[in-house]
Amino acid sequence: MNPSNQSPNHTAEDESQAVVTRRIQRLSLHLMAPSAQNYDLCAVIWLYERKAQGDTRESVEYFNSRPDLQTPVEILKDDHRELCWRQLLGLVREAGIKPFKYVAEDPAQYFAIAEAVGSVDMSLGIKMGVQYSLWGGSVINLGTKKHRDKYYDGIDNLDYPGCFAMTELHHGSNVQGLQTVATFDPIKDEFIINTPNDGAIKWWIGNAAVHGKFATVFAKLMLPTHDSKGYSDMGVHAFIVPIRDMKTHQTLPGIEIHDCGHKVGLNGVDNGALRFCSVRIPRDNLLNRFGDVSRDGKYTSSLPTINKRFAATLGELVGGRVGLAYSSVGVLKIAATIAIRYSLLRQQFGPPRKPEVSILDYQSQQHKLMPMLASTYAFHFATANLVEKYSEMKKTHDEQLVGDVHALSAGLKSYVTSYTAKSLSVCREACGGHGYAAVNRFGSLRNDHDIFQTFEGDNTVLLQQVAGDLLKQYKEKFQGGPLTVTWNYLRESMNAYLSQPNPVTARWEGEEHLRDPKFQLDAFRYRTSRLLQSVAVRLRKHSKTLGSFGAWNRCLNHLLTLAESHIESVILAKFIEAVQNCPDPSSRAALKLVCDLYALNRIWNDIGTYRNVDYVAPNKAKAIHKLTEYLSFQVRNIAGELIDAFDLPDYVTRAPIARQSDAYAYYTQIVGF
């Protein structure tokens, strides 16, 4: 067409669309920086491939080109397990993807692959994680060169499918309470693995029911002594135990395996239960990085106590929590994309004699979805930073960084997965009846993700770890000791936070002030500091009469609130940093809008706390509420661009109601019209 023949309106629309497209591309680029732009995303070409700049995508997918490997909406448990195994085999042996390489050499790339694989089928993502991050990770992180030399290739190419056998029927979070025993027999130079009672049966063990041939078994190491006790308990250690014959796949003598059965979700993963009866393994099968046993039964370790060895062992397994936090954000991106894209498409009611309006134009729908979208962006930057810290920790083994990653991963895994779980139900409801259709995925996403809240550490337990670390840092602060990086604000300005609120600033209600990142971050940190100081006083008071355990339990809800408040402060700090580092003015303005909504919505949700201590006067509280609603409206105007920046094509979201074009037509075809 001759440009001179185009209508002015058409030209204006084209220019407007071009502006939108450029902003989406710039947002996508910033979402990949600084961590994600370094990912070798060619490793996930079966899902989608991005160039180094992150602004293009090639349709070179593996699973998308293999309909026989795509998980149907309706599938039986046993069929799902076999399909999941074939998916993993195809990924590794046919597509040539090598996740184990990244576990060992570049964790950031591994987490990117895990997120992408989880988008294909969350069961596949978890099964891959069991094989490479848990079973494989335990071998390379808890073992030594002899274990890597013997097992690496078999784990890598799936000749050695394995399990991670930590959890028992009676003990999950309390790993030090595990009852499985590994007794050393110096005569035969072997360990004898035993399940002493039903409570010690290994339970919920991924890959155990059908496919696993090996298991990393966590058990108490018992060494013979010459005193009246007969044996000395050296604490929980990890052992490689073959569970099935390599050729026949039959269960080996002394091992009993049962299927844990149908689950709420993730039924492509074959969880099983293991019982051991005098199972003998060579002494070399002890994963001996932190503790070893000699031929004559002597124990040696570079770490002096059981507690230090235990902490070092669990510290090497923190990658699982990092991966779950990161993958949970991926699930939230998919759910938010489906719900928001549908809400932009769906029209219901409207002014008299006027066209119906998009349901996202309703304030109630904005209230449900816009703060959630803001949280998704906030979590993206926070977990990307966590992955970056974890990768650096694996390279440097810096002691301060290890402590920081341990606490941060516990907090973010707990906070993000709990938020995502709640949000999946909100998204389902926001899409009305069509959200209830299995083909639109909210049901499977919700069921598959639900376990994220309790495996790799129960969220309530993890938040207590965060609270415990905060109290330790609080004590260090007043004794002049070092603080880890994430806790620096306790040293820098806690005294200011604990002073009486300024009655003048407590009444400021101007938009410029409320959208000032300093005000927002100060408000978050003030709340955390008050909670920390007050719970420390309460614990000191109650410990005099109840003891330390009783005092902790008496203050438990207070401690959990403290931990969540701290994690919210960390998330906001990283979001503000990302906004400030965004090089493109247009994208920076969009991100600032989203960041302000995240911060002010959180403040409003806990406005009672701020009012109780007069940090916020009534007029200011009202202004915060009013501005939060206005920001939700403003974010709604760019919501389409914001979800498009996640760069999730239709074959990733896989929900008819979320298709970028012809959604209703495709939906009716799915049903059979």
List the catalytic residues: 456
Q: Which residues of 276-296 are buried (b: 16+ CB within 10 A; e: fewer)?
A: beebebebbbbbbbbbbbeee
Nearest to 40 by CA among 109, 108, 105: 109
Residues 160 and 312: their CA atoms lie apart, in Å, by 26
Q: Two tokens at 241?
A: 């135990």
Residues 298 and 86: their CA atoms lie apart, in Å, by 45
Helix axes 556-581, 399-430, angle to 10 degrees: 90
Q: Two tokens at 209?
A: 């029911």
On the CB side of 26, how many CA atoms lie within 13 Å of its CA? Answer: 18
Three-state DSSP class for residue 243: coil
Secondary structure, 3-state, 318-379: CHHHHHHHHHHHHHHHHHHHHHHHHHHHCECCCCCCCCCCEHHHCHHHHHHHHHHHHHHHHH
Question: Bridge-partner residues for 625, per DSSP?
Answer: none
Nearest to 375 by CA among 516, 630, 523, 567: 567
Burial class (CB in 10 A: 0-12, 13-18, 19+), 536: middle
Phi first, then psi, for residue 162 (nearest 5°) are -140, 175
Question: Bridge-partner residues for 183, per DSSP?
Answer: 192, 222
Please check if 137 is assigned to a binding site. no
Distance, C-alpha 637 to centroid of its chain: 29
Please check if 167 is assigned to a binding site. yes
Query: Which residue positions form the known binding site?
Result: 167, 206
- Summarize the annotated binding site for FAD as residue ranges: 167, 206
